[in-house]
Amino acid sequence: MSQPALLRLDKVSKRYGSVQANRQIDLSVRAGSIHAVLGENGAGKSTLMKLIYGVEQPDAGRICWKGQEVHLARPSDAQSLGIGMVFQHFSLFETLSVVQNVSLMIPGRPVELARKIQDLGDQFGLSVDPHAMVHRLSVGERQRVEIIRCLLLNPKLLILDEPTSVLPPQSARRLFETLRKLQAEGMAILFISHKLDEIRELCDTASVLRGGEVTGRVDPREHDARSLAQLMIGREMPNVAHAAPRPPGQERLRLNGLSHPRASRFGTTLKGIDLKLHSGEIIGIAGISGNGQQELAALVSGETRAQDPGMIEIMGKKAGHLGPMARRRLGFSFVPEERLGRGAVPEMSLADNSLLTAHGRNMLSRGFIRRKVERAFTRDCIEAFDVRTPGPDAEAGAMSGGNLQKFILGREIMLQPDVMLVSQPTWGVDIGAATAIRRRLLDMRDQGCAILVISEEMDELFEMCSKLHVLNHGTLSAALEAAQTTPQEIGRYMIGAQS
Partner 1 sequence: MKLRLIRRDAASRLAMFASPVLALALTCLASLVLFAALGKPAGAALHALLLKPFLSWYSFSEVLLKMAPLLLIAQGLAIGFRANVFNIGAEGQFIVGALCASAMPVYFPQGDLPLMLPTMIAAGALGGTVYALIAAALRTRFGASEILVTLMMALIAVQILNYLLLGPWKDPRGFNFPQTVMFPDNALLPILFDGTRTNISLIFSLLASVFAYLIMQHHFRGYQLRTAGLAPRAALYAGFSAPRMVWLGLGIGGLAAGIAGASEVAGPLGQLQRSVTSGYGYAAIIVAYVGGLNPLGIIASSFLISVIYIGGDSATVSAGLPVAAVEVFQGLLLFFYLLTFTLIRYRVELDRKVPA
396: DSSP letter: G
Instruction: Please choose, out of 91-99, 111-119, 226-234, 345-353, the segment that lies near partner 1 by the rule CB under 8 A.
Output: 345-353
Instruction: Please choose, out of 101-109, 211-219, 310-318, 388-396, the segment that lies near partner 1 by the rule CB under 8 A.
Output: 388-396
Q: Is residue 326 involved in binding partner 1 (CB under 8 A)?
A: yes
Return the SS3 of 98: helix
Which one of 31, 55, 106, 369 is in contact with partner 1 (CB under 8 A)? Answer: 369
Neighbours of 10 (CB within 10 A): 16
Please list the residues that pair with 285 across neighbouring strands. Answer: 454, 469
Instruction: Please choose, out of 107-115, 196-204, 249-257, 367-375, the segment that lies near partner 1 by the rule CB under 8 A.
Output: 367-375
Between 107 and 367, CB nearer to partner 1: 367
**Cα distance between residue 437 and residue 464, in whole Å:** 11
User: 296-310 burial, b for 16+ CB within 10 Å, e for fewer?
Assistant: bbbbbbbebbbeeee
Query: CB 160 → partner 1: shortest distance, Å?
Result: 25
Which one of 104, 111, 240, 398 is in contact with partner 1 (CB under 8 A)? Answer: 398
Residue 282: CB partners within 8 Å, gap ≥ 6? 245, 441, 442, 445, 451, 452, 453, 464, 465, 466
Cβ distance 212 to 227 under 8 Å?
A: no
**# residues contacting partner 1 (CB under 8 A):** 41
**H/E element, 282:** strand 282-286
Which one of 195, 359, 438, 469 is in contact with partner 1 (CB under 8 A)? Answer: 359
Cα 377–chain centre separation:
26
Which one of 10, 204, 308, 395 is in contact with partner 1 (CB under 8 A)? Answer: 395
Binding letters toward partner 1, positions 3-22, x by CB under 8 A? --------------x-----
Query: CB 483 → partner 1: shortest distance, Å?
Result: 34
Q: Is residue 355 involved in binding partner 1 (CB under 8 A)?
A: yes
Gyration radius (Cα) of the chain, Å: 23
Neighbours of 225 (CB within 10 A): 16
Which one of 367, 372, 483, 484 is in contact with partner 1 (CB under 8 A)? Answer: 367
Query: CB 28 → partner 1: shortest distance, Å?
Result: 20
Q: Residues, the chain, total?
A: 499
**Which residue, among 45, 96, 140, has the nearest Cα to 337 in the 3D structure?**
140
Angle of CA points 392, 395, 400, to nearest 5°: 100
Between 40 and 352, CB nearer to partner 1: 352
**Cα distance between residue 145 and residue 136, in whole Å:** 13
Which one of 67, 238, 261, 323 is in contact with partner 1 (CB under 8 A)? Answer: 323
**H helix runs in 193-268, sequence order:** 196-202, 225-233
Which one of 11, 62, 109, 342 is in contact with partner 1 (CB under 8 A)? Answer: 342
Between 109 and 329, CB nearer to partner 1: 329
Q: Is residue 331 involved in binding partner 1 (CB under 8 A)?
A: no
Instruction: Please choose, out of 97-105, 147-155, 332-340, 482-490, the segment that lies near partner 1 by the rule CB under 8 A.
Output: 332-340
Between 205 and 289, CB nearer to partner 1: 289
**H helix runs in 213-347, sequence order:** 225-233, 293-301, 324-329
Binding site for partner 1 (CB under 8 A): 17, 57, 70-73, 77, 301-303, 323-328, 334, 336, 338, 341-349, 352, 355-357, 359, 364, 367-369, 393-395, 398
